[in-house]
Amino acid sequence: MTVRTGALIAGRYRVERQIGSGGMGAVWLATDEDLDRPVALKRAHPAADERRLRQLSREARIAGGIDHPRVVALYDLVTDDAATWLVMEYVPARDLADLIGAGGVLPPEDVARIGRQLAEALAAVHALGIVHGDVKPGNVLITEAGDAKLTDFGVARALWGDETISDSGLFRGTPAYVAPEVARGAKPLPPADVFSLGATLFAAAEGVSPLGSGDNPLTVVWRAASGHVAAPSSPGPLGAALSAMLALEPADRPDAAEAERLLGLRAVPEPAPPRRLGLVALAAGAAMVLAGASLVSRSAGSAPAGGPATPAATPVSAIGDPRTADPCALMDPAGFERFGQAELSTDYGNFNRCDVLIRRGDDDLADVKVELANGPAPEPGSQDQVERRGSIEIVAEPASGGECDRTLVLADGNLVEVTAQRTGHGTVDLCAAATLATDRAATVLGRGRIPRRAHALPARSLGNLDACGLLDPAALSRVRGIDGAHPEAGFGRWDCHWHSGTGDTTIQLRFDRDGPLTAPDGHPRRLGGHPAYITPGGDGRGTCLVQVVHRSYRDTSGNTTAELVFLVVSGGEAGGRLCDSAETLASAAAARLPAG
């Protein structure tokens, strides 16, 4: 079928000119006369049968539900004169393959920026249960402003004839960017997209795919099958992020959201050991695959102040992305029923925490909690018992002061802290409860990385923020002697401490979850448009506590829960001045919270 300029497709789309072509077909710029907007039209392969067309129509409806600024939108799938067309967003841009071909390589900062945008797109797509299946430079559009858009999802691969029958079967993808498990014949899943994105960014940084180049696609796939995957030469965080994304096993790769954050890390000086904190493009490639592999490692680091939360500067092999790691996966309330009625509390305290509450009748007995924490591990005391289970070291402390503590020291330096604490007048063997929780956590961690949360943190949640970024040096300078340039970040950057360089004043800002606050919780105020409660001595003698309510929601049990900014100023000043400082800082932090 010949397409003429001026032709009207499906009674709506007026063809203007051809803007792309390739072995899979051609792309035309057209005008949607109903909505008076430019669109891109792509025609399906004429050999597609009726069954495949029905299947692709269903897939197109799924992809049409993707609404993300980093994804080229699919508007419609239409038929006209026995031909099937995709109607897509028109993006005046060059694809990344052209840019690489014209300039060789891109600067590392451009590669990281493009990577962050594409990882953000994949995270949104994967959340909808969709896999792209062919991430590569040719499917990445770069606008004149330098922004990236992902295009050409797998909805129409067969229609455009870009699948290849090899001796090992029918496969999808592009050899130079295919994930090892897909090369072995597995169905593409989200980790495969992460690998392909890593390979795409590798090509942008190095000028060639990590699987090399060659005229024979079977040779390129053989390299993957043999594990001949080049290591990135890019220095610093970019190289570490690419290595993580190109991991051999899908389970060892970051998910797309974590990859976005790894690509956002900046090189920083080696930090001092932290203190142990208390509670607190319109183309698709040929497809031929056999088998493949790659060898890499993963790294992470700190977040720029004021940005979203990122993994702390520790290895992430056991914990992974703090925002998706599920501390409640380490707990099993059924195991505690020998002590009484056991209830899992998923929305109490900070986001690194999970509790099992033990009751007998109407009496509260104990709270057993696990918390994910940064290292280094504390030095064992003379009365502590130390044992090793595989790669995990367990430090058991004797019961003291109505609680019993255990610490699991993971191979990557992260910690899991277990505390069983008496909450009522009943009798519970606290150390038996702590040991039970420790055994469960060690068993789960012995299987590999901690499981992910079943549901992502809501977009408005404090769990997506960096606690250290809520107070900038200008705000901190209002408290005499505070060193605002060197915060100490806790796990997930959900907890942050600043110390005085001249005295004993300390500021702590952490996130918290609790029931709704009322007047008995402190003197009510409104700070930065948020309800707040100020309590002199609220965190102990010589302190002033301010709790700022960010948002309220229903937890998994249907209870109303509030997300709070929990700010404490301690030491150095008289009580009244202490609360003046605390209120000033809390106001500054509240002003930086996202709109509720």
What is the band of 77 on the pLDDT scale with cuts at 50, 70, 90?
confident
Residue 593 near residue 565, CB atoms below 8 Å: yes
Annotation marks residue 466 as catalytic:
no
Among the listed residues 427, 420, 419, 418, the one whose alpha carbon sits nearest the alpha carbon of residue 365: 427
Whether residue 187 is annotated as binding a ligand: the answer is no
Residue 490 near residue 373, CB atoms below 8 Å: yes
Distance CA 558, CA 253 (A): 35
Mapped onto helix, strand or coil, the DSSP state of residue 591 is: helix
What is the band of 3 on the pLDDT scale with cuts at 50, 70, 90?
confident
What is the CATH number assigned to the segment(s) 93-262?
1.10.510.10
Per-residue CA distances from 83 to 23, 203, 529, 559 (Å):
17, 36, 57, 55
Residue 13's region, left for phi above 0, alpha for psi from -120 to 50, else beta, is beta
Percent of the chain at pLDDT exceeding 70 = 81
Distance CA 66, CA 75 (A): 10
Tokens 């049968």 found at:
49
Per-residue CA distances from 134 to 72, 121, 206, 284, 326 (Å):
14, 14, 20, 7, 30
The region of weakest confidence among 28-37, 283-292, 497-506 is 283-292
Per-residue CA distances from 202 to 177, 281, 444 (Å):
10, 18, 34
DSSP assignment string, 293-312: ---------PPPTTSB----
Q: Give 206-261 pLDDT, tens digit per residue.
A: 998 988 876 577 777 766 666 667 888 877 789 889 989 998 788 888 999 999 99
Specify the pLDDT at position 155. Answer: 46
Rounded average pLDDT over 531-536 = 96
Specify the pLDDT at position 227. Answer: 62
Q: Is the model more confident about 187 or about 53?
A: 187
Distance CA 141, CA 541 (A): 59
Q: Single out the catalytic residue among 134, 193, 255, 321.
A: 134
Task: Name every residue whose Cβ is closer than 8 Å to that of residue 150 and which is 6 or more positions away in sequence.
Answer: 70, 71, 72, 118, 121, 122, 125, 132, 135, 139, 140, 141
What is the band of 439 on the pLDDT scale with cuts at 50, 70, 90?
very high
Nearest 10 degrees: Cα torsion 456, 467, 405, 348:
-50
Mapped onto helix, strand or coil, the DSSP state of residue 287 is: coil
pTM of the model: 0.51
Specify the pLDDT at position 171. Answer: 53
Distance CA 398, CA 385 (A): 8
The residues with which 419 forms a beta bridge, in sequence order, are 369, 405
Distance CA 479, CA 581 (A): 6
Nearest 10 degrees: Cα torsion 510, 515, 521, 526:
70
Cβ atoms within 10 Å, residue 528:
15
Structure tokens at 344: 């899992």
108-127 and 190-206 helices, crossing angle to 10°: 170
Mapped onto helix, strand or coil, the DSSP state of residue 335 is: helix
Distance CA 200, CA 69 (A): 20
Q: Is the model more confident about 488 or about 186?
A: 488
